[in-house]
A and B are shown apart, each in its own frame.
Chain A
Amino acid sequence: MPTPANLWWSLISLLVLLGLWYLGASFADSRVLPGPLVVLSVLIEGVGSGEVPYHLAVTLARVAASFVLAMSIGVAVGIAMGRLLGLNRFLDSWLIFFLNLPALVTIILCYVWFGLIEVAAVLAVAINKIPNVVVTVREGARALDRDLDEMCRVYRLSGMARLRHVILPQLSPYLFASVRSGLALIWKIVLVVELLGRSNGIGFQLSVFFQMFDVANILAYSIAFIVVVQIIEWLGLRPLETALNRWRR
């Protein structure tokens, strides 16, 4: 949790940002850059009508599905590649291929092959994220402590017990790194997926507002999502991380 001093600093820096925005908006044409107050009233109106919560929920559901899919496959493959030299040699070139495959290409191909359906959308996002998870977790799996590994073998810990009590705790910093970068990356890709082939969600809404040149609504939706991601960070990730790191001196 942020300390009071940190909170004050965050508040001050946020107010400075708002001030700069306000100044910029008053110089620019109001349609190109509406001021904070205009955006706030648009946001309040959108929340009141139920539009913003609906599209936000749809996008969040896609983010959650892609995130769970990408993390579970990525962690499993990452651990396997970090532990098994042969598998790592075999899959390494695939990994480089998928790491460098542009997100847009994956999205287009998924829509072409599977149609404009929900599964294709979620799959396209997951495929974009999996290689990043694999790379991070593989580094962690390579650095697993051999001494503890021998201890587990002597005392015959089962595979599940080893995973839960020995391997995952060692991987937790790597897992948190990929969860954080994962949320940021995934929600951006979800918007592209929605823009290209879905008829709801924030990405779809943004494309509509783009056609209508409605910058105020574009900013209102972005701010709504950033607030939600911050809430996830503060209420979910930070407390979890603190709890998992209690053992450290």
Chain B
Amino acid sequence: MSSLQVNLRAKVFPGVAQAPPHHALASIKLTIKHGQFACITGPSGCGKTTLLNVLAGLDHDYDGEIHLPLISEHQQPVVGYVFQAPRLLPWRTVEQNLTLIKDRSASTADVGELLGLTGLTDFCHAYPERLSTGMQRRLALARAFVVEPDLLLLDEPFASLDEATAARLRLLLLEIWRRHSTTVIFVTHDLREAIQLGQRIIRLTGAPAKVDLDMPIPLNPAERLDTQVIEAWRTRILEVG
């Protein structure tokens, strides 16, 4: 059981054609304990997704060091990533979308149980394009858990959903996270969502982006459902900025 350690000095996108190089991320130092649920907020376009892609190992072109958390049984860190779009395989059924990914990892996760938790059992033989957006997002969430990740990255996974559906999915995410006790990095531009979910809020601002706020959110599950508590914390955080 190790923690996630980020020691990023800079992330620069080289200029294309006439455009100058884009300095996306400045120095970012973070340590996130094993099993912690951390939310990263900040205005859109500030580099949140860039940071996630670096953590996911999709982008190796950066200056710094990243140490991913590792559960002792795993040979190498396993990452689950819920992208902004669900990114499912439309030509494979709901169930196949999970089993295909699971077969590639040493996971012992129960596909049937995850389908049940996400309310997709009745649709396990359906193709993703026939599902509603909310169901597609639930499937993307189930896929991220089916590999039993050491680190779970979520990039505004509930954006573009109506508030009721998003609220249900947030509860679902918390429930699965408690069962699997994985380290979570949840990116959102919605501060209320961050307060409701996160044990810790990290805010990125500026260009290149750096951490301008890193605050623990010591709330119990009941308080997280209380809109007044959330509004109070929101005001507090906005005052700090």
Whether A157 sits at the interface, judged by CB under 8 Å, is: yes
A26–B185 Cα gap in the complex (Å)?
A: 82
| Pair B104/A153 contact, Cβ less than 8 Å | no
Chain A residues, Cβ within 8 Å of B101: 155, 157
Stretch at the interface among B7-15, B87-95, B200-208: B87-95
| Pair B56/A154 contact, Cβ less than 8 Å | yes
| Pair B91/A156 contact, Cβ less than 8 Å | no
Knowing A154-B58, A157-B104, say if A247 contacts B83 (CB, 8 Å). no
Chain A residues, Cβ within 8 Å of B129: 247-249
Closest CB in chain A relative to B96 CB, distance in Å = 8
Residue of A nearest to B92 (CB): A165
Stretch at the interface among A65-73, A108-116, A143-151: A143-151
A6–B100 Cα gap in the complex (Å)?
A: 40
- Tell me the residues in window 53-68 of chain B with beta carbons closer than 8 Å to chain A beta carbons: 56-58
Knowing A147-B83, A147-B85, A153-B58, say if A247 contacts B90 (CB, 8 Å). yes
| Pair B81/A161 contact, Cβ less than 8 Å | no
Whether B127 sits at the interface, judged by CB under 8 Å, is: yes
A101–B80 Cα gap in the complex (Å)?
A: 50
Whether B168 sits at the interface, judged by CB under 8 Å, is: no
Closest CB in chain A relative to B83 CB, distance in Å = 7
Whether A185 sits at the interface, judged by CB under 8 Å, is: no
A48–B90 Cα gap in the complex (Å)?
A: 50
- Of the candidates A155, A156, A161, the one having the most CB atoms from chain B within 10 angstroms of its own CB is A155
Closest CB in chain A relative to B217 CB, distance in Å = 27
Whether A166 sits at the interface, judged by CB under 8 Å, is: yes
| Pair B130/A249 contact, Cβ less than 8 Å | yes
Main SS of chain A's interface residues? helix
- Tell me the residues in window 151-186 of chain A with beta carbons closer than 8 Å to chain B beta carbons: 151, 153-158, 161, 165-166, 169
| Pair B57/A148 contact, Cβ less than 8 Å | no
Chain B residues, Cβ within 8 Å of A169: 89, 91-92
Chain A residues, Cβ within 8 Å of B90: 247-248
Whether B51 sits at the interface, judged by CB under 8 Å, is: no
Q: Mark A230-249, 1 if CB is under 8 A from B, else 0.
A: 00000000000000101111
A157–B102 Cα gap in the complex (Å)?
A: 10
Closest CB in chain A relative to B191 CB, distance in Å = 27
Range of interface residues on B (Cβ < 8 Å):
20 to 34
- Tell me the residues in window 113-151 of chain B with beta carbons closer than 8 Å to chain A beta carbons: 127-130, 143, 147
A154–B85 Cα gap in the complex (Å)?
A: 15
Closest CB in chain A relative to B130 CB, distance in Å = 6
Closest CB in chain A relative to B68 CB, distance in Å = 12
Closest CB in chain A relative to B181 CB, distance in Å = 20
Whether B44 sits at the interface, judged by CB under 8 Å, is: no
Whether B227 sits at the interface, judged by CB under 8 Å, is: no
Chain B residues, Cβ within 8 Å of A153: 57-58
| Pair B83/A151 contact, Cβ less than 8 Å | yes
Chain B residues, Cβ within 8 Å of A157: 100-101, 104
Chain A residues, Cβ within 8 Å of B130: 249
Closest CB in chain A relative to B223 CB, distance in Å = 33
Whether B160 sits at the interface, judged by CB under 8 Å, is: no
Whether B165 sits at the interface, judged by CB under 8 Å, is: no
| Pair A165/B104 contact, Cβ less than 8 Å | no
- Tell me the residues in window 182-224 of chain B with beta carbons closer than 8 Å to chain A beta carbons: none
A248–B128 Cα gap in the complex (Å)?
A: 9
| Pair A155/B104 contact, Cβ less than 8 Å | yes
Chain B residues, Cβ within 8 Å of A147: 83, 85, 87
| Pair A246/B127 contact, Cβ less than 8 Å | yes
Whether B79 sits at the interface, judged by CB under 8 Å, is: yes
Knowing A147-B85, A247-B127, say if A154 contacts B92 (CB, 8 Å). no
Chain B residues, Cβ within 8 Å of A166: 89
Closest CB in chain B relative to A235 CB, distance in Å = 23
Closest CB in chain B relative to A124 CB, distance in Å = 36
Which of A150, A161, A247 makes the CB contact (< 8 A) with B100? Answer: A161
Closest CB in chain A relative to B71 CB, distance in Å = 16
Given A147-B87, A166-B89, output 11 extra A-B contacts at Cβ < 8 Å.
A148-B89, A150-B58, A150-B83, A151-B83, A155-B81, A156-B104, A157-B100, A157-B101, A161-B103, A247-B127, A249-B130
Q: List 17 A-B contacts (CB under 8 A).
A: A147-B87, A148-B87, A150-B83, A150-B87, A151-B87, A153-B58, A154-B56, A155-B80, A155-B104, A155-B105, A157-B100, A161-B100, A161-B104, A244-B91, A247-B128, A248-B90, A248-B129
3 smallest beta-carbon distances between A and B, as pairs: A247-B127, A169-B91, A247-B91
